Amino acid sequence: MQMSVVEAWIEGPLKRFVDDAGAELALLLHPSGQVLAQHGFAREVDVMTACALAAGIQASSAELGRQLD
């Protein structure tokens, strides 16, 4: 499987997580939606789609939390 990382230090922990969890796909994201690392995605468009979804979930959850105090 293919793994891409932004910073070299991320690769070791991500490999351990994927091995321990038996995950086929993994993304490590900044709360803004920026990809820090990915594992197992064959197409870049799939990574971008998952990141957009995660950023939307993060933003809507933060706003709901803010409104509910």
- Burial per residue of 4-38, b for 16 or more beta-carbon CB atoms within 10 angstroms, e otherwise: ebeeeeeeeebeeebeeeeeeebbbbeeebebebb
Report pLDDT digits (tens) over 14-61: 999 999 999 999 999 887 778 899 999 988 889 889 888 888 898 899
What's the pLDDT at 10? Answer: 94
What's the pLDDT at 51? Answer: 85
What's the pLDDT at 58? Answer: 87
What's the pLDDT at 23? Answer: 95
The pTM for the full model equals 0.74
Are 48 and 61 a contacting pair, CB within 8 Å? no
Q: State whether the Cα torsion 44-11-62-65 is positive or negative.
A: positive
